[in-house]
Amino acid sequence: MTIASLGVERRTRSLAGRIWRWFDGDWLFLGAVIALSTIAILGLIAPHLPLADPELPVPEDRLQPPSWSHPFGTDVNGSDILSRVIYAPRVDLLIAILSVLLALAFGSVIGLFGTFFQGRGGIAGLLTELLNRTMDILQSFPAFIVALALAGVVGSDLWSVIGVLTFLFTPIFFRFVRGEVLHIRERLFIEAQTAAGSPLWRVLLVNVSRNSVGAAVVQASPTMGFAILLTAGLAFLGVGVKPPTPEWGLMISSGQEQLYVGRWWPAIFPGMAIAITVFSLAVVGEALRRRLEQ
């Protein structure tokens, strides 16, 4: 073995060791990250893979069982299920990521400014109390029922679903940030910064925000899983993304009737994809929470 190859091997082992130490020996966390990365990468490169058109109906191939030509079988329209399962994250993950990021931004800003002035009297205190009660009311309703009603009102295109989920998730992140701000604003270092003459905006944006959004960021991962479930549920009931868009909920909706006659593949494979994705997001969120608490 040459010196150069020995150096490459050592660097490879060192990199692998650092990655393993970052995962802290947690096989489940590592597996969840690998699963999510695989699903996301396959979705991104799907147009460049040798896959059938996911929206192309082929009536003569309808409801074919899994085979070498169609590893996951075909659906009621004759479309290749493997192709549709791989393409679906381009919709499901896009909706989940954008809606959660927007909700995280809105919820954090509202929670930060709204909670910091709570109980301080004046117009700011009144507006803060009104904001808190509004968020409490929004969280008191079942999320799926609200999503169903809003989707029926605003429409069921891609951006409408993202807007509905953003509206639903904003109170979740507001609650996490609010709890942290209520604790942090009474800390001695905040009082010291204020007493030292630091502007209120600087204390709020630098000291309070930096120490209060961590819990909300960790919550983003399981909330993405919830977003995927809501997206699939809305599509299943016909008020979400419309066919022939490749989407896991739509695939389950079109395949669930076939379960009664023994054709399991149109609904089982997209259901497995949802289960793996949501479970992996929950595992990642839990692992990040444990690291935040250390």
Q: What residues make up the domain containing 140? A: 85-293
Convert the pLDDT of each residue in 72-92 to its tens digit. Answer: 999 999 999 999 999 999 999
Contact 212, 292 (CB under 8 A): no
**Which of 25-29, 243-247, 274-278 is least confident?**
25-29
- Residue 66 covered by a domain: no
Residue 36 lies in a domain: no
Q: How many CB atoms lie within 10 A of CB 226?
A: 21
4 is a domain residue: no
User: Of 277 and 200, which is predicted with more confidence?
Assistant: 277
pLDDT at 277: 95
Is 50 a member of any domain?
A: no
Tell me the whole-structure pTM to 2 decimals: 0.83
Higher pLDDT, 254 or 211: 254
Is residue 111 within 8 Å of residue 200, measured between CB atoms?
no
pLDDT at 4: 46
Where in 37-184 does DSSP place strands (E)? none
Residue 100 belongs to a domain: yes
Based on the structure, what is the number of domains in the chain? 1
Q: What is the DSSP letter of 47?
A: G
Write a three-state SS string for 225-277: HHHHHHHHHHHHCCCCCCCCCCCHHHHHHHHHHHHHHCCCHHHHHHHHHHHHH
Q: Does residue 21 fall inside a structural domain?
A: no
Q: How far is CA 252 from CA 19, 157, 214, 232, 259, in A?
A: 37, 19, 36, 8, 10
* Position 101 pLDDT exceeds 70: yes
Mean pLDDT of the chain: 81
Place 8 in a pLDDT band, splitting at 50, 70 and 90: very low
Task: Please report, for the domain that includes residue 119, its CATH number.
Answer: 1.10.3720.10
Check pLDDT > 70 for residue 186: no
User: How would residue 65 be classed by pLDDT, with cut points 50, 70 and 90?
Assistant: very high
- In this prediction, residue 6 has a pLDDT band, given cuts at 50, 70 and 90, of very low
In angstroms, how far is CA 251 from the centroid of its own chain?
Answer: 20
Residue 138: inside a domain: yes
Task: Identify the residue with better confidence: 30 or 124.
Answer: 30
Residue 90 lies in a domain: yes
CA atoms within 13 A on the CB side of 50: 2
